[in-house]
Structure 1
Amino acid sequence: MTHAAHNLAAPETGAVAAPLLSVRDLTVSVRDRGVVRPLVEGLSFDLSAGETLAIAGESGSGKSITSLALMGLLPNNVAVTSGQALLEGVDLPSLPEARMRGLRGAKVAMIFQEPMTSLNPVQRIGTQLVEAIRAHEQVGMRAAREAATLALRRVRISEPERRMGQYPHELSGGMRQRVMIAMALAMRPALLIADEPTTALDVTVQREVLDLLRDLQAETGTAIILITHDMGVVAETADRVVVMKSGRAVETGPVEQIFDAPTDRYTRDLLAAVPRLGAGAARGAPLPPEAPVPVARLVEAQVHFDIGSGFFGRPTHRVHAVEGVSFDIRQGETFGLVGESGCGKSTIAKALAGLVPHQGHVEVAGRKLSSLTASGRKAICRDVQMVFQDPMAALDPRMTVGDAVAEPLLIHGVGNPVMRRSLVKELFDKVGLGGEHMTRYPHEFSGGQRQRICVARALALQPKLIICDESVSALDVSVQARVLDLLAELQATVGVSYLFISHDMAVVENVVDRLAVMYLGQIVEMGTRDQVFGDPRHPYTQRLLDAVPIPDPARRGRTHVRPAGDMPSPIRRLGDPPDRLPLRDVGEGHLVADDTA
């Protein structure tokens, strides 16, 4: 009998089924320079077979440490110091590693946030799946390969036999996450722990992965612990919720109770910070007026990358990253670019910053980028600055944050040391950080504070345009809300324009004035925020909006259109360009492509 079948066995009449997992007063502590400090303290909850329990909270709340404790994967200086975690009566933290190794995969499995770091990049997908199966079952190679192929088919991967022979880098992010789910569920474990399984994925891929987990749970009866900070995902998937803050559970209950009548202030604040589709319409701010010279303009912009190598070393294929894109950004406006990974959003940002070669007309502040000299390109950096997704990667860990913010001033020869220091202090005050922070290093700040420092650095040269490339997607919802409020305040005071790039449609609706929806390097819909969100005309825009998780458990039963197959590739043979999608005006500047996505 499989584990799933065992878990679903009906209890005797009148008997109350024992929980599959029972966590009692679990405390996990770290030993740092001789001092023992709790990371998770006194955590208790039960989980039944076939149930989904969400552990929600912001970074540092203890969610992931709890999952690692259950899996027996804690770092050397971290240990369970008290309490129990009983899986079918077996206390997991007390097991020796040799016995725990036998349970991992067979009884309890885990899916991590970033599938690329979880898969071996130098081994084929089939090799890794077969290895996982044979580690727990004494079967021959042929039977293991058949089981691996079946596992890929169960997670709805197209052409599973071909995928078995591919390497991880040949698959999209969503496909890699499906492989991880296939690997985790191959042995039909009683418990599956999913640690932020959709955070790094586009909204449509996230929807597919969540639907897939729900379908597989119904089929196998596996219990799921879902660890996330996305309350929309919690509302759509969980049966019960544990809300954690600073290592403690502050509230526990059914998902409907947590959303409809939260009792703890932290839970209420967490829910209030969640961006919701439809809330953006309440802003009602008028569009900035058109000016003779916009801050930025693209006319038929194209960015191509030639790849492959023929017999004489010549390229054979071309990546059509951006194909005939046209739009402008007004003074004091926030213009949004949305779409899935690979649609060309970030490539447009790089073209505007002069970081990639392009064709067509791209200008900033009335200056055409392709005609600039070296000194002119350096001057453009004063007009265009970028705020990236990961603030830790964008800051030099060996440089104080004050020096990091002052560096653009130094490069462009602005002022003397005393003047630069004064300007930096002013910038720190402007983004809500005091001058006392200037001598600290990046690791001494939280993620939200680091992103504020990146915003301060972007403002140092008083640019006309700041490009925010997924600049809040890695932040917790409350931190995200504070950074977005900061960007709005700065726009109101200094009149800067933003190009806001994101795949989070709820966030985009709450911050942009106008936006363009991109698909395979081309714009398929463009208009004001109210036009695109209030009356989406293109099927692809409708699909993006339909996939957004709604933080309301009462609406979890809605049906979703599931796309057939994978997104087409922007890579085509040389001499075979894609068809251009003409945009037609459906009223008051609302532009929609004529095709169907």
Structure 2
Amino acid sequence: MSANDKTAGAAVPALPQSVLSVQGLTVSVPGQDLVKALSFDLAKGETLAIAGESGSGKSITSLTVMGLLPPQVQVTSGAVQLEGRDLLTLPEAQMRQIRGGRIAMIFQEPMTSLNPVMTIGAQLIEAITAHEALPRAEARARALEALTAVRISQPERRLRQYPHELSGGMRQRVMIAMALALKPDVLICDEPTTALDVTVQREVLDLLHDLQRQMGTALILITHDMGVVAEMADRVIILRHGQMVEEGAVAQIFHAPQAQYTKDLLAAVPKMGKGEGAELQISVEPPIARLTDVQVRFDLRGGLLQRVTHRVHAVEGVSFDIRAGETFALVGESGCGKSTIAKALVGLVPHQGRIEVGGQALNALSTAERRRLTRDLQMVFQDPMAALDPRMTVGDLVAEPLLIHGLGTPQERAARVAELFAQVGLPPEAMQRYPHEFSGGQRQRICIARALALRPKLIICDESVSALDVSVQARVLALLGDLKRDLGLSFLFISHDMAVVENICDRVAVMYLGQIVETGSRAQVFGNPQHPYTRRLMEAVPVPDPAHRRPPLPRLTGEVPSPIHPVGQGPQRVLLEDIGGGHLVARADAQSQAAA
């Protein structure tokens, strides 16, 4: 069975040759069941998706199968059988042989799974020799074969490199190579593409599908991304609070869901081509922010004397403005310069060119003037837990900007915080709690409340919903829309998720290697994409419909383009051409060499 055999309305077929069977599994901590009476079978060559929100028990289930539960978490009942052998009864010495050899796992964040002080080759060889008594030369050849199988560029060179020298997509390929080097019967993928850009995600999913077809490996895919589920799965299990609420063939789950929770989960998925709302009318007022030919470069030193040898051209000649009451989106892959622009806009990195906020150029302001300007400009980051001090109550965290700027009496600040909590949909009693007592979506609401404290004119959202579950993401996006309508706020929305951007933005700019290659209104860019890179981003977005068949995406070969150039050289500066109505596109025949 493969992911291409999906038929609308098909019943769940009888499972041939069940390789893994989970029966009545209950996993608990004192006073709470994390997984409750879960049962499923996995056939050879099948892809089973386990979907649900954070806290639903997806990862706990995978850790139970792998025998990696932390000490305070216990299996209280049930069985996990690998070809009839109950893994829960095996001693650790025997589980070590099964773990990696028969059942392998790919985790969400490859950087935390790879040893930073060992080369890629050493780690692959170690994984192979731990299970097979091979001479080092033969193990190295097997490691090289595994890297070649996952289509990583220059595999021989990658063996000698360290994890930090590889991109996120390359590190995930290394993890896949390590998992598949011993040809396991079962491969568990726990959110393997959540942190990846949409084009890299597409390549990794295509790679997993190809390798599964070639090797016949059974795949358990754990995710909250229903688009990924639709493209990869044969069967789907929907979990909520540790319990299975629905199970069925992928076509049945998407086209005829039975449980209300499943229906709600599918309804919250942002879809391409569903951008709603009237086009924003062009404001006659001066823009809230304006960037003109902005450049951000970082020096790299090397050699015995540590001289500057190369420069990172993170942002190269970017110009745009953000109007009153609009949401302007910057989209592109990691490393394209989106977040660097946000940091330059709030004064966190030095820049060349001109950045104006409220008509004032940042470079011309004194320190005191810059501090006053921050009242008009606030930022919401990707990881709310990293942005909140765990030792402070959330009420104090939201009040902190008011305290820093010396605004109001203690009573007035407390009243303002209560008002802000009401605006973002949190009860006033939550003000006395600490960040760890909230869910991810609630923590992001607290960050938004803090950003609103000084009544700013512009809020920068830097990947502020990318790590959230789809239903939580939908609620946060709805909140941002309400705040924009009620308070007249402007937003700079930074994301690599084209489906989310289409559903929230008024205007959008697509960035590639530090430059804008296409910009215009939502209707112009999404309704008539002109640049090949824009089209590639859109084509890579997973479609939450198992009946959808995407045309093959050309596989990228060779070295990944880099924004790093030797001193005295620089990237080619693209020129944007207006093809009508303010829709600007970089033309291949309209380029000039950038000044170094």
Does residue 29 (structure 1) correspond to residue 28 (structure 2)? The answer is yes
- 1:11 corresponds to: none
Contact 1:583/1:591, CA 8 A, preserved across alignment:
yes
1:54 positional shift: 0.1
> In the alignment, what sits opposite 2:64?
69
Deviation at 1:105, TM superposition (A): 1.0
Give the distance between the partners of 1:201 and 1:30, measured in 2 at CA. Answer: 32
> Residues 109-166 of structure 1, C-alpha deviation per residue, up to 9 Å, x if partnerless?
0000000000000100000000000001110110010000010000001111100000
Asked if 1:424 corresponds to 2:417, the answer is: yes
Deviation at 1:579, TM superposition (A): 1.0
Matched, 1:384 2:377: yes
Aligned pair partner of 1:344 in 330, 334, 337: 337
Across the two proteins, how many residue pairs are aligned to each other? 577
Name the structure 2 match of 1:6: none
Q: Which residue of 1 aligns with 2:162?
A: 167
Trace 1:571-590 onto structure 2 (pairs within 5 A).
Answer: 571-590=564-583
Question: Equivalent residues in 2 for 1:275-424 (5 A)?
Answer: 275-280=270-275, 283-424=276-417
1:457 aligns with 2:456: no
Post-superposition offset of 1:557: 5.4
Cα distance change on mapping 1:16 and 1:114 into 2, 3 Å: closer
What SS class does the counterpart of residue 493 from structure 2 fall into? strand
The residue aligned with 1:4 is none
Separation (CA, whole Å) in 1 of partners of 2:200 and 2:133: 35
Equivalent in 530, 538, 547 of residue 537 of structure 1:
530
The answer to whether the 8 Å contact 1:288/1:333 transfers is: no
Corresponding letter in the other structure for 2:218: A
Gaps of 5+ in 2: 1-13, 592-596
Match of 1:519 in 2: 512
| Residue of 80, 86, 104 corresponding to 1:85 | 80
- The code of the aligned residue for 1:147 comes to R
1:182, 1:369 → 2: CA distance? 48
8 Å Cα contact 1:288-1:332 kept in structure 2: no
Q: In 2, Cα distance between the equivalents of 1:113 and 1:577?
A: 35
Using the alignment, how far apart are the partners of 1:183 and 1:233 within structure 2?
A: 22
Alpha-carbon deviation of 1:286?
Answer: 2.7
* Matched residue, 2:40: 45
Shift of 1:548: 0.2
Match of 1:258 among 253, 256, 259: 253
Deviation beyond 6 Å, 4+ runs, structure 1: none
2:432 to 432, 439, 442: 439
Counterpart of 1:102 in structure 2 is: 97
Is 1:150 the equivalent of 2:145?
Answer: yes
- 1:555-566 aligned at under 5 Å gives the runs 555-556=548-549, 558-566=551-559
1:132 equivalent in alignment to 2:127? yes
Which position in structure 2 is the counterpart of 1:494?
Answer: 487
Aligned residue type for 2:398:
V
1 CA distance for matches of 2:279 and 2:411?
A: 41
Shift of 1:30: 1.3
When the two structures are superposed, what TM-score results if normalisation uses the length of structure 1?
0.95
| TM-score normalised over the length of structure 2 | 0.95
- In the TM superposition, residue 566 of structure 1 has moved relative to its aligned partner by 4.4
SS of the residue 2:547 aligns to = helix
Counterpart amino acid of residue 544 in structure 1: L
CA displacement at 1:312 relative to structure 2: 3.2
* Counterpart residue type for residue 183 of structure 1: M
- In 1, the alpha carbon distance for the partners of 2:239 and 2:201 equals 23
Once the two structures are TM-superposed, the CA of residue 48 in structure 1 deviates from its matched residue by 0.4
Residues 219/144 of structure 1: CA separation in 2 closer, same or farther (3 Å cut): same
SS in 2 for 1:472: coil
Q: d(CA) in 2 for partners of 1:50 and 1:222?
A: 5
Partner SS state of residue 403, structure 1: helix
Question: Aligned letter for 1:295?
Answer: I
RMSD: 1.2
Aligned counterparts, 1:228-243, within 5 A: 228-243=223-238
CA distance in 2, matches of 1:343, 1:305: 14
Q: Give secondary structure in 2 for the equivalent of 1:486.
A: helix
Tell me the SS of whatever aligns to 1:422. Answer: helix
Secondary structure class of the residue paired with 1:70: helix
Counterpart CA distance in 2 for 1:398 and 1:184 is 39
Match of 1:548 among 541, 566, 578: 541
Distance 1:16 1:48 in 2: 6
